[in-house]
Amino acid sequence: MSIRIIIRNSLSALLLLASCKSGDTAATHLSAQNGIRYEAARISNEEYDRKGVLWLRIKLLGEGGQSPIRYNTAYGEYTGLLDYYLNHAQEDIHLEACGRKIAPVGYWFENNYNLVGFDVINVGFDTEGMDPSCAGDGMVVFNDRNFKNGIIKLSY
């Protein structure tokens, strides 16, 4: 099934391209809570892998093809949701791998401005010195305080 997206200006095109980066592995894990689906996948990038940082992408998928932070929200509520993901969500994410709890060393949020039905959290964890077999089999834990969905655990 193909999806047609009409791009009206270059800013929209750039935002769409930023959301459609290649390099994800096929293995993902989904969890759904209160109409929001969370999908985690490892970002495969040799440059980052050599530096001992494990990069993960968490997609936030909304119902009906709407971005979860835009669907049915007033402006004040929208700015609060956006502020959380831009500035505070990294405090609620950690990696559990090799018997350790690891805080993020890198984080950025891709706001897709409702051009597509999802937004993306990219998060990196320092895995240098860890056994690659257990670092690759960990679990990312996210307490999404915005939507009060409790603790979301995703393998990657």
For 79-104, write each residue's pLDDT tens digit: 999 999 999 999 999 999 999 999 99
What does the pLDDT read at residue 4? 33
> What's the pTM value of the predicted model, to 2 decimals?
0.75
What does the pLDDT read at residue 29? 54
Angle CA 129–132–135, to nearest 5: 90
In the block, tokens 């969370």 appear at: 38
Round to whole Å and give the CA distance between 4 and 73: 26
In the block, tokens 């530096």 appear at: 51
Q: What percent of the chain has pLDDT over 70?
A: 74
- The answer as to CATH 2.60.40 being correct for domain 24-155 is yes
119 contacts: CB under 8 Å, gap ≥ 6: 59, 60, 67, 68, 69, 85, 109, 110, 111, 112
**Average pLDDT for residues 132-151, to the nearest whole number?**
86
Contact 82, 21 (CB under 8 A): no
Domain ranges of the chain: 24-155
Q: Is the pLDDT of residue 72 over 90?
A: no
What does the pLDDT read at residue 104? 97
What does the pLDDT read at residue 7? 32
